[in-house]
Amino acid sequence: MSSSVYRIAWAHPEFGQILATCSLDHTAIIWKETVKDNGSLQWDAQLTLKDSRTAVTSVQFAPHWMGLMLATCSADGGVRVYQAANWLFPEQIEQTHMVICDLPLSCLSWNPTGKVFILEYERETRHWSKTETVDMLNEPVHDIAFCPTLDSDSTILAIATTGVRLVTLKYVQDETACGDSGPKRFYIETLLEFRNGDSQIWRVSWNIIGTILASSGDDNSIRLWKANFMENWKCIFEMKIDVSDDPI
C-alpha cells in the first residue's frame, strides 16, 4: 500500500477474517488474516485490484447470502462489482459488472433485505411455496433458526439482526383468515425483542430440545435466552469475550 486509505470494509465472518481497503493510488486491496508458523497472526495482502484509473473512494462487500462479492466506486464515476470464483477466496476473482456514472463517486452501499420468508413443502405437489413473510423488520437479517419443537400448531423462529428477535408462528386453521396480501397461513407474534445499541447479532442457535437460545454478536458477547413459567423470554447468562486475548 503506497497511498492514503479512504475506507475499509469487512467481509461476512463466514468467509473468514477478510477485509478490503481502497486508496488514492487507484487500487483496492483484499487482505486476509493468516497464522504464521510461530502461531502469531498476520494480515497479508492477497489481491490488488487495479482496474480504476482514478482514486478508489469506497469499497463494500455484498450481503453474505449473495456470495463473496465486492463493490468499489471511484472518482471517475465508475462502479465495479467483483465476484470470487471460489468461495474459499481469494486466489480467483473477476469483475462481473461495470457501471459508469456522470459524476465522481465518494461512497456506496448495498441494500440488504430486512425480510424473512417462510416456505412450506407440500407433499402432494412435491413443491416448495412461500406461505408467509415476516415483514416487521427494518434492519438486515444475519441469521435465522427454527426452534426444534414437536408442537405441530406453532413454532418459534429466532432472528439475528440489530439485536435478537423471537417470533412465534401459529398455524391458522381457518384458511379464510386473510392478511393484507391474501390468505394467511400463520399468525405471527413477537415474543422477544432485545437490542444493545447498534450492535449486530450475527448468529443464533438452539439447544437440542429447544428450551435455550444462544446468540453472539459484534459486541463480543455470548448470551443465553430462556422462557420462564409465564413464557416470558429473558437473558439468563451473558459472557463477554476479551478479544485482546491470544487465540487458544
Q: Residue 131 contacts by C-beta under 8 Å, 6 or more apart in sequence?
A: 118, 119, 120, 185, 186
CB 225 within 8 A of CB 164: yes
As given in the structure block, the three cell numbers for residue 55 are 482514486
- Summarised one tens digit per residue, pLDDT across range 39-93 is 888 898 888 888 888 999 989 898 877 888 899 999 988 899 998 766 455 556 7
pTM of this prediction? 0.55
CA angle at residue 123 from 119 to 129, to 5 degrees? 25
Cα–Cα distance for residue pair 1/5, rounded to 1 Å: 8
How far apart (Å, rounded) are the C-alpha atoms in residues 244 and 103?
43
Residue 114 has a pLDDT of 64
Q: Phi and psi dihedrals of 56, rounded to 5?
A: -85, 120
Q: What are the DSSP calls for 149-202, one per residue?
A: ---SSEEEEEEEESEEEEEEEEE-S-TT-EETTEE--EEEEEEEEE--TTPPEE
Q: pLDDT by residue (tens digit) across 145-183?
A: 888 875 667 888 898 888 898 988 887 765 554 554 444
The DSSP 8-state label assigned to residue 119 in this structure reads E
Collapsing DSSP states into helix, strand and coil, what is residue 13?
A: helix
Confidence of residue 239 (pLDDT cuts 50, 70, 90): very high
What is the rounded CA–CA span in Å between residue 70 and residue 82? Answer: 5
Q: What is the pLDDT of residue 243?
A: 64
pLDDT for 244 beyond 70: no
Q: Which three cell numbers stand for residue 179?
A: 392478511
> How far is it, in rounded angstroms, from Cα 235 to Cα 242?
20
How far apart CA 12 and CA 242 sit, in angstroms, is 20
In this predicted structure, the answer to whether residue 27 has a pLDDT above a threshold of 50 is: yes
Read off the pLDDT of each residue in 191-207 and give the average, rounded to a whole number.
85
Query: Smallest Cα–Cα separation from 5: which of 16, 96, 15, 19?
Result: 19
